[in-house]
Structure formats: structure tokens, C-alpha cells
A and B are shown apart, each in its own frame.
Chain A
Amino acid sequence: MTTPDSTLIPGTFEMLILKALSLGPIHGWGVAERIERLSDGVCEIQQGAVYPALQRLLLKGWVIASWRESDNGRRARYYRLTASGRAHLQQELTWWRRAIGGVDRVLRSTTEES
């Protein structure tokens, strides 16, 4: 079973895919490429892992796929965020910022407050 690279916090992979798709419809390779490029290579993933993840998102109805011609003239399966996918991404982001903020505060604390 391919899993996201262990450098990723569990549960964030699908959020990253949704975020990548929120920038515009793209095919599977484009999703992987966007995540790598936008994280400046920090989030290095096994590229194949996007396909099972995309399949799960399809089943949840957050993403829909359609075949069309890509930039290089070949037929490619493009994934697009649905309205409910966009809403879900918003929820995830809100949760993520709170969680990160919490973790960050813990890590930056210097004294034990009473």
C-alpha cells in the first residue's frame, strides 16, 4: 500500500490535493507537481499516491473528473473541485490553522503558566 511520504502529517495529504485543485482543474501528474513545486520540494511525495487519494475524493463527491485534451495534445483525465469539495477545503483549512496555531504556541512557550 502506497502511503504519503512519512514526512507528511497524517490526514493532510488529501487537504493538499484539494488545495492544489482549488488553483484550477489539472490532471494527476499536475496535482503531484503542484504540491512539490508550491512546497519548494519540502513535501516530497510518492507521486503514484495521488491516484488512490483522488479516487477517494471522487467517491466523496468533492472532486469530479473528465477527459479532455492536455497542453501536449494528449487526452488526459482532468480533476476539478466541486462546490462541496471547496466547502470541505475551507473547513480543513480552518481546522489546520487552529491546530497549527495551537501546536506553535506550545512549541514557543518558555515558561510554565500557572
Chain B
Amino acid sequence: MGWWHGLRERMSAWTRPAARDRDLDTEIAHHLDLEADRLQRAGLTPNEARRQALERFGDRADVVESTRAARRRPGTEGIVQDVAYAIRMLRKQYAFSGLAVATLALGIGATTAAFAVVNTVLLRPLPYRDADRLVFLREVTATHSLNPPSHPNVVDWRDRAQSFDGVVSAMFPSAATVRSAPSADPLRLTVMGVSRGFFRTLGVTPEQGREFTDEENTLGGARVVMVSDEFWRTQMGGRLPLGDVIVNGTAKAVIGVVPPDFSFATPAGLNRLSSSADPVMIYLPHEQAPGTCRTCRNYMVVARLKPDVTIERARAEMTALTAAMRAQYGTDITAVDVDVRDLRDYVAGDHRTLLMVVLGAAALVLLMACTNLVSAQLARGWTREPEVLIRTALGASRGRVIRQLMIENGVIVFVGAAAGLALAAGLTRIVTAVGFNQLPRLAELSIDGRIVAFTIAVSAATLLAVGIYPAWRLSRADAAGALRSTRGTGGSVRAAAWRVLLGFEIALALALSVGSALLVRTMANIMTADTGFESHRLLTASITPSERDVAHLDDARVDLAALPGVEDVAYTTRLPLSWGSNAGPVRRRTDPPGPDWPAFAGFRMVSPGYFDVLKQHVLQGRAFTSADGEHGEPVAIITPGIAATLWPGQNPIGQTIGTNYLFDEWLTVVGVVAEASIWSQPKGTQNEIYVPYAQHLHALPGQTQLIAMIRAAMGPDALTEPVRQSLRRTLPDSPALIRPMDARIEQSAASRRFVMVALTTFAGVAIVLAAIGIYGVLWYMVTTRSREIGIRLALGATPGVVQRRVLGGAVLIAIGGCAVGALAAMVASRFLEAQLYEVTPHDLRTYLASAGVIVLAVLAGAWLPAWRASRVDPLETMRAEVS
């Protein structure tokens, strides 16, 4: 450890030389006293003892000088010495260093955190064995839309495709009523059906028990389920043997526990209004009730490529197989091809662009931090010029001076990067905690080696960006010029460089502000988008009524409606706005059954009063009444899109309509109701067919969910608990999932929300950095030009004029920067275009508002220097110049 003590000694010799000199003085004084004491004890007089002690010590100044020289022996002239010197310099200028470190920490922290998200969502392999061999399969239609396939088609793929070591499927998650034991409270949980070999093919081994066998996962197989690790630990108390759980009223044996880190690839870009965003707790063998309809679209399919098969070969085989299936099954096959893509790409989906936007924005913040630092360095260079000149005059080479300055920057960047990394670790925690839970895989977010490596690379680039130009300028400092006057009237070259740097910063800040403002407006537009009904003050409670509870649905509705604060209640089998994932065909009686369905529509069974509760306008005919009961004439209400397609120019009321949700039933259209539309789908395409649920109670088995739509008089949140208690009283077997409708709409835009929050934060930081940059540079300009300002004041300029000149200069820079930034924003916002809603990327108001905010920030930054300029005392500056 000798080298360590030596190193510490060197560091202290360089960082605290004054303290070390004081130490030496103390030591010598003590030494002389001790020696004098000794001589006195030997019999000398005090004076004589003192004299001899001094003589025996030798020349004191010589000793001090030699000791100092020993501290900086030639061997210590190196990096260590430079670093120590840099630390000393930076400690002396703590205001500059603190600001520089904080600025860099913000920039590096933001960039690292953004990269951590990108790394997790886009780069890191999925948590399955050999995940890069897994592909996601979807059908491609003639109109190039990508659809999940039907079960019969998946079975054909599984049996016939040669490229794969396993083709497995999962159903879209849904909700079910689950009891962990016969006496336990029922819970409403997310369940997902999986095919044969699902976990085996993904390479996931159950942590307890086993996976479904093929014999279990077939028609008539044993009643078995698998459960998640969370369910096993929290609901089953981690019990072994695993025993039974009750799913939708049926006891099923738990045969395995899925490990805690497992989650099936969350499909990106899916309509998120369903309750299925919660983690899957129960896995069911879906091939016990295999889908039989070939034209349906309801399975997520993953396949594992055989070791020697490329993805291209698999694509070619699937194309050929689709053609063969079309030849065999005719019009039942709606696909023209199969899309085969890397599972990771599928999971990342449209988040790729969004995350790249966030990463780009973070990089801009870092760039601004660097720019700020460069301009501060130039300003500092001004005041440090004498020091550098003296060192050059004393024989330091230019390379040596540059090295010293680069080391100073290196220390700043190092500390800034360390703080930035810590900041990023905190930020990622916030991101995970706050949820933004619609980004896939965010739960896996963490700082790993790749991220640290990224930070190091970014820091190195930062060092180069920050250090080179100021070091080069300083090393070229003009000795003659500077010796004449260390406080000149300011180099015009440097002033121009500053204007460019500041303008650049302002341009970046504007581009970021515009991006964030566009997204803020998008979110606002989404939340106020016309849905065709009144979504505010609407509470939704979804349940799966058990067979016993079905008989009490009316009582439950009456009980809910009687709660204080509830205006009205109605039921529907599907949430409004959850369109798209299962639209089915509708037809006139004259249309032959076949592939050419004239129209598709979502299907809902609703109770009387549903349209009143939602405030959805009945445009024609009537709403359902209690007369539309079990024994009434089968009736339906449709949206205008269906009417226009099936009966163009005719009165739809009184026509008969069929839907493949109700085989062999013909319904009389009694009304046309306005479309309830989600913002993410174009209006006019979200067709719905509504039927009274009282006429189809037989179609309400234990598996189907029913949602009570509760219209609240006030904010719906306060009603959550009373509603839960009411439902527990009236429908004890059917636990409810309760959420405000607005929260569900908001969730459907969660990934945009994430980008909006990120960009707004970055834009805020950028504006602050721009203001700091302006402040710093103007402050230096005013300080170093105090003579010129003093002369102006002496010649009769009023303080107000001087102040306006400084502010005016700042505003000019701001306007120039905003103009450049606006151009940059117009180019860059094209990447955001697909994410915007009801606002164009060139929205003039957004640009003007952003520019306004930035000019205000610049004025705020310039105000203090301007005030100081007006307070310059002309006499003082004159006197200082003379002396």
C-alpha cells in the first residue's frame, strides 16, 4: 500500500500547498523549541540555547525551500499533478464548477435514463431461452392489414410448417372470477388461455409442478390450470401441494407455477381499453375449448425457428402454406400471406419511434449542457488568460497548456457523469414506479453494464465537445495583447462566437419546447375528443356474473342506482370504445352467407337506459325499453355507418339484420344511435350493433363479462368504495373491477403520455439552461466591458439606455435562435406526426407560444446583468483604469 500513501501525499501537496507550508512552519518552530530545551537542560542560558539551536538547525529558508522542492520532484510532474492542480482550480471557482457539474449531470442523466428505457424496451433480449429464434406470426389481408389468426389456421400452421420447432398460441388476456380456495373471497383477475407446448417452446420451466400435457390441453382434458408466481405466493400462501382453485365457479387442479420473471410479450398498439393490462394470474389450457371458426381473429402466435432455418426461409414457407390453405379451404381463408417477424420487434412495435424521439430529446439537452459549458469556458478563458500567459511565458508548451485545460474539463465531466449516472438511476426508478405501464417490458428496467458503458462513451464525447475549442483558443492567447491590458474592451471574435453558441442553444430549446407543446396539445385533444357520449363522471364496474348472480342483475342495478351520488346505471357486455379486437360481420336477410360480408360491427348487449346513462344520442327510432324482454320481438339498434352501408338512402327502421354473434336470429332494427368513437380510430368506421341483453340472457354464461356503467353526479372516484360494497351485497359471487371511464381513455394514450412527460421535462430543463447560458455570458460581458460602459455613462447615456442595450442584445439573439429553432422543429416534428392528434406538426400557435416562453426566459436571464450594467459607476472605472 506504499504507493497509495505516496499518492495521497502527492495529492495533498498539490491541492493544499498553503496548508502544507503552514504545517512545516509549525514543525520547525516546535523543533527549535525542543532543541533549545535540550540545550538548556545541558546547562546553557536560554539565549545561548536558542542561538545554538538555530545554528544546529541550519538555514531555515533553505530548509523550507528544499522541502517544497521535494514535494514536487520531477517525478511528480504528471497526470497526478495536473489532476490535483485542476481540482484546486475548480475548488477555488466553486460557483463555476458547481454549475458546470450540475448542468452536465442533468444532460448526462437525462440521456442515460432515456437510453436505459431504449435498452430495456428495444435492445435487451426478451426473457425467454434463445429469444432471438422466436418469431411472431400474423395473417396479412389483401388490404395489407395484420390480423391475429384463428385457431383452426394455427393448427394447420403447427401441423404443416417445417421451419419451426413449435408453433404456440395464446388468447388475448381476459378477466375471470377466481377463488384460491372454496372459502376464499372471489377475486376478479386476468387470465390467459395458452396452447399445447406454450412454455416449452418459449423455453420457460415452471418453478413448481409442470406445464400442461398435450392430453390435458385438448377437448375433454382434465380440469387443470397453471398460476403465476404472484398468485401462488399472495393468494395461495405458497402452499404445497398446490391443490385446487375455483375459476368462474369450477374447481380446477393447479398443476404448475409460472416463474416470477415471466410475462408474455405484451402486444404493442393494441386497443388498451380492456382490463387485460393487469398481469396474468391464471393460465388456462385453451385447446380444451378450441376455436372452430376459421374466419375469426383471436390468437397471438409465436413460433421457434429451427436452428438451421433463417427467417426468410420461414417467410417463404408460410407464403406457400397460405396459398395451399386458400386452395384447400377456399374463402374461409381471408389471409393472402403470413407476416413473420422477430418477436422483439413485434413487442417494441410503434414504441420504437416514440422512444427514439425521447432519446433524441435527451441528447439535445446534453448538447445544450455542453454548449453552456463551452460558452462559460470561453468567458472563464477571458479571466484566466493572464494565468495561462504567465505559464506559457514560464516555458509551458502549448500542448502542456491544452493538456492542463483538458484535464480540468475531464474532472468536471467525470464528476458530472458520476452525478448523471446517479440521477439516471433515480429517474429509471421513477419511470418504473410511476408506471407509464403501457410501455412494454418496463418492469425489467434497470441500470446494467451496457448503460454504464453508454454513459462512459457519452462522457468522452462530451469532454471532446466541451474542451477542444476553448483549450485551442486559450492556447493561442496573444501574449503581447494580453500583457498590455488584461481587461480589454472584449474581443469581437469571441463575442461573435458567443452569439452563435447562445443562438444555437435557444434554437435547441425552442425545438424541444415545440415538440413537447405539440404532445401536450395532443393529450389535451385526446382527453376532450368527441367520443359521441359523455365520458366524464362515468364509473365502470366490470364483473363476470356467476350463474346464480345472473338472476340478481336487476336488483343489483336498482341497488346501485339508489346509492347517494349515483344518477343512473345501465349494463353493457363490452365497454364503450373497446372496438376493433372483435368486430363481427353483419348482413341483410338477402345477403347469402359467405365471405363477402357487407359490413363489420362491434356487438354489445345492453340494458334499457344504456344510451341515457352514456348520453349517447339516439338519432332515429327509439332506445330499448323494458318491453324489449325475453318474450318481445328480437330487436337491434345500429350506428349510422351500418345503415348507410346496408340500406343506402332507405329508412333502416323496421329492416331486419343478422350478425354472426347470434346465429339464425333475425333482428328488427328499431333505432339508429350516434357512433361512440375512440380517438385512435377514424370516425365513421366504428360501427356497432346493440341488442337488449334481456332477450339474450342465455348468451350470458359465466364466462362473459358484464359492465355496470354508473353515471355519477360528481367526480366518480368517491363512488368507487360504495359501488364495490353494493355489488358485494347484491352479487356476492362476482367481484368487480372498478375504474372511471376517463382513466380508461387516458390509459389508451399512455405511451404518448410517457413521451409527453419526458419531452416536457426536457424542454423545461432546456429553457432553464438557455436562461443560465444567457445570464452567464452577459454577466461576463458586462464585467469585462465595465470600462466601455463607464465611458458611455460618462458621456451622458442614461442607465435606462445601457440596460435596454443589454436586454435588446439578448432579445435579438433569442429571436435569431427561435427562427433557426422553428425551422429545426418543423423538420424534427415529422417524426412526431404519427403520434399527434388533432394538431398539425406545423401548428403556428404552438410555435409562437413556445417562442414567447423562450423570449421571456431569455429576458429573465438577461435582467440581472443588464441591471448591473446600469449600475456601473463611471468614476470608478476611470479611476481603476488610471491607477
Closest to A3 in B: B66
Question: How does the 8 Å CB contact mask read for B69-81 relative to A, with 1 for contact and 0 for none?
Answer: 1110101100000
CB distance from B855 to the nearest CB of A (A): 57
Within 8 A of B (CB), among A39-76: 46-49, 51-53, 55-56, 58-62, 64, 70, 72, 74-76
Residues of A within 8 A of B62 (CB): 1-2, 48
Q: How far is the CB of A64 from chain B (nearest CB, A)?
A: 5
Measured CB to CB, the nearest residue on chain A to B6 is A61
Identity of the chain B residue whose Cβ is nearest the Cβ of A36 in the assembled complex: B56
Pick the residue among A1, A59, A72 that contacts B66 (CB under 8 A). A1
A29, CB-defined interface residue at 8 Å = yes
Instruction: Please tell me if the beta carbons of A64 and B5 are within 8 angstroms of each other in the complex.
Output: yes
Docked complex Cα distance between A56 and B9 (Å): 10
A interface bracket (residues with beta carbon within 8 Å of B): 20 to 34
B13-27 interface mask toward A, CB cutoff 8 Å, 1 = contact, 0 = none?
A: 100000000011011
CB distance from A28 to the nearest CB of B (A): 5
**Contact yes or no, A55 B58, CB < 8 A:** no
Q: How far is the CB of B75 from chain A (nearest CB, A)?
A: 8
- A49 & B58 in contact (Cβ 8 Å cutoff): yes
**Contact of B5 with A56 in the complex, beta carbons under 8 Å:** no
A83 within 8 A of B: yes
Cβ contact within 8 Å between B56 and A51: no
* Interfacial chain A residues near B5, Cβ < 8 Å: 58, 61, 64, 82
Q: Are A59 and B30 in contact (CB under 8 A)?
A: no
CA distance A46 to B35 in the complex (A): 12
Question: In this assembly, does A84 line the interface, its C-beta being within 8 Å of a C-beta of chain B?
Answer: yes
Consensus secondary structure, chain A interface: helix
Contact of A59 among B9, B26, B28 (CB under 8 A): B9
Say whether B31 contacts A28, CB under 8 Å: yes
- Is there contact, CB below 8 Å, between A29 and B34? yes
Check: B2 CB closer than 8 A to any chain A CB: yes
Contact B63 A27, beta carbon cutoff 8 Å: no
CA A48 to CA B1, docked complex, whole Å:
29
Chain A positions within 8 Å of B73 at CB level: 56, 59
**Nearest B-chain residue to A51, judged by Cβ:** B67
Q: How far is the CB of A92 from chain B (nearest CB, A)?
A: 15
A50, chain B: closest CB distance, angstroms: 9
Q: Which of A46, A64, A82 contacts B56 (CB under 8 A)?
A: A46
A55 in contact with B71 (CB, 8 Å):
yes
Q: Taking the complex as formed, is B597 at the interface, i.e. its CB lies under 8 A from any CB of chain A? A: no
A32 to B57, CA, bound (A): 10
With known contacts A47-B31, A76-B27, A52–B67 Cβ distance under 8 A: yes
Most buried by A among B66, B69, B76: B66
Given contacts A1-B66, A48-B63, A51-B27, contact A58 B56 (CB under 8 A): no
A70 surroundings in chain B (CB, below 8 A): 30
Contact of B58 among A48, A64, A75 (CB under 8 A): A48
The minimal Cβ–Cβ distance linking A30 to chain B, given in whole angstroms, is: 8
Contact partner of B2 (CB less than 8 A), chosen from A28, A46, A51, A60, is A60
Contact (Cβ within 8 A) A85 B66 = no
A1 CB to nearest B CB, Å: 6
Is there a chain A Cβ closer than 8 Å to B60's Cβ?
Answer: yes
The answer to whether the Cβ of B38 comes within 8 Å of any Cβ in the partner chain is yes
B404 CB to nearest chain A CB (Å): 21
The yes or no answer to B10 lying at the interface (CB within 8 A) is: yes
* Shortest beta-carbon distance from A9 to chain B in Å: 19
In the assembled complex, which residues on chain A have CB atoms less than 8 Å from the CB atom of B4? 61
Say if the beta carbon of B59 comes within 8 Å of chain A: yes
Residue B3 interfacial (CB < 8 Å): yes
CA separation between A1 and B369, bound complex, in Å? 50
Give the docked Cα–Cα distance between A59 and B3 (Å). 8
Point out the residues of chain B lying under 8 angstroms from A53, CB to CB: 70
Inter-chain contact B35/A2, CB cutoff 8 Å = no
User: Once the chains bind, are B23 and A77 in contact (CB under 8 Å)?
Assistant: yes
With contacts A52-B66, A64-B5 known, is A46 near B57, CB below 8 A? yes
Q: Are B38 and A33 in contact (CB under 8 A)?
A: yes
Mark each residue of chain B from 36 to 78: 1 if its CB lies under 8 Å from any CB of chain A, else 0.
0110000000000000000011111011001101110101100
Q: B124 to chain A: closest CB distance in Å?
A: 45
Inter-chain contact B56/A47, CB cutoff 8 Å: yes
Q: Which residues of A contact B31 (CB under 8 A)?
A: 27-29, 32, 47
- Given that A52-B63, A59-B73 are known contacts, is A27 also in contact with B27, CB under 8 Å in the complex? yes
A82 to B8, CA, bound (A): 14
| CB contact list, B305-364 vs A, under 8 A | none
Q: Which residue of A lies closest to B12 (CB)?
A: A58
- Is A51 within 8 A of B38, CB to CB? no
Q: In the complex, A7 Cα to B385 Cα: how many Å?
A: 50
Of the candidates B23, B30, B33, B60, the one having the most CB atoms from chain A within 10 angstroms of its own CB is: B30
Residues of A within 8 A of B30 (CB): 27, 29, 70, 74, 76
In angstroms, Cα B13 to Cα A41, docked, is 34
List residues of chain A with CB within 8 A of the CB of B7. Answer: 61
Q: Tell me whether A56 and B2 are in contact (CB under 8 A).
A: no
Which B residues touch A74, using CB under 8 A?
30, 33
Report the minimum CB–CB distance from A77 to chain B (whole Å). Answer: 5
Contact string against B for A residues 13-46, beta-carbon threshold 8 Å, 1 for contact and 0 otherwise: 0000000000000011100110000000000001
**A103 CB, nearest partner CB in chain B, Å:** 29
**A29-B35, A56-B70, A59-B73 known; A51-B6 Cβ under 8 A:** no
Chain B residue with the shortest CB-CB distance to A44: B56
CB nearest neighbor in B for A33: B38
In the complex the two chains form, what is the Cα distance from A58 to B9 in whole Å? 7
Q: Check B27 against A83 for contact (C-beta < 8 Å).
A: no
Q: Please, which residues of chain A bring their CB within 8 A of the CB of B58?
A: 2, 46-49
Q: How far is the CA of A82 from the CA of B9 in the complex (A)?
A: 13
Q: Are B59 and A2 in contact (CB under 8 A)?
A: yes
A56→B73 CA distance, assembly (Å)? 8
List B contacts of A49 (CB < 8 A): 58, 63, 66
Assess whether A52 is in contact with B70, with CB atoms less than 8 Å apart. Answer: yes
Which chain B residues border A48 with CB–CB below 8 Å? 28, 57-60, 62-63
Report B403 CB to chain A, min CB distance, Å. Answer: 22
Alpha-carbon gap, A84 to B75, bound state (A): 19
The listed residue (A61, A72, A83, A85) touching B9 by CB distance below 8 A is A61
Check B57 against A59 for contact (C-beta < 8 Å): no
Q: Which residues of B contact A83 (CB under 8 A)?
A: 1-2
Q: Which residues of B contact A52 (CB under 8 A)?
A: 63, 66-67, 69-70
CB contacts (< 8 Å) of B37 on chain A: these are 72
* Min C-beta distance of B7 to chain A, whole Å: 8
Chain A residues near B71 (CB, 8 Å)? 55, 59
User: What chain A residues lie within 8 Å of B23 (beta carbons)?
Assistant: 77
| A29-B34, A47-B35, A51-B28 as given contacts; A60 in contact with B67, CB under 8 Å | no
A98 and B34 alpha carbons, distance in the complex (Å):
37
* Chain B residues in 8 Å Cβ range of A75: 26
Q: Please give, as numbers and ranges, the residues of chain B lying within 8 Å of A28 by CB-CB distance.
A: 27, 31
Known A-B contacts A1-B62, A59-B73, A76-B27; A84 and B1 likewise in contact (beta carbons under 8 Å): yes
Distance in angstroms between the alpha carbons of A72 and B34 in the assembled complex: 9
Contacts of A77 in B (CB 8 A): 23, 26-27
Which residues of the other chain, A, contact B69 by a CB distance below 8 angstroms?
A: 52
Residue of A27, A46, A59, A76 touching B10 (CB-CB under 8 A)? A59
State whether A84 touches B2 (Cβ < 8 A): yes
Q: Give the nearest-CB partner of A86 in chain B.
A: B2
Provide the bound-state CA to CA distance between A60 and B7, in Å: 8
CA distance A32 to B53 in the complex (A): 12
Subset of 30 A-B contacts with CB under 8 Å: A1-B62, A1-B66, A27-B30, A27-B34, A28-B27, A28-B31, A29-B30, A29-B31, A29-B35, A32-B31, A33-B38, A46-B56, A49-B58, A51-B28, A52-B69, A53-B70, A56-B70, A58-B5, A59-B13, A59-B71, A59-B73, A61-B6, A75-B26, A76-B27, A77-B23, A77-B26, A77-B27, A83-B1, A84-B1, A84-B2
Q: Which 9 A-B pairs have the closest CB atoms?
A: A84-B2, A61-B6, A61-B2, A48-B63, A46-B58, A55-B70, A52-B66, A48-B58, A61-B5
Please give 6 more A-B residue pairs, beta carbons under 8 A apart, in addition to A28-B31, A58-B9, A83-B2: A27-B31, A59-B10, A59-B71, A60-B2, A61-B2, A82-B1
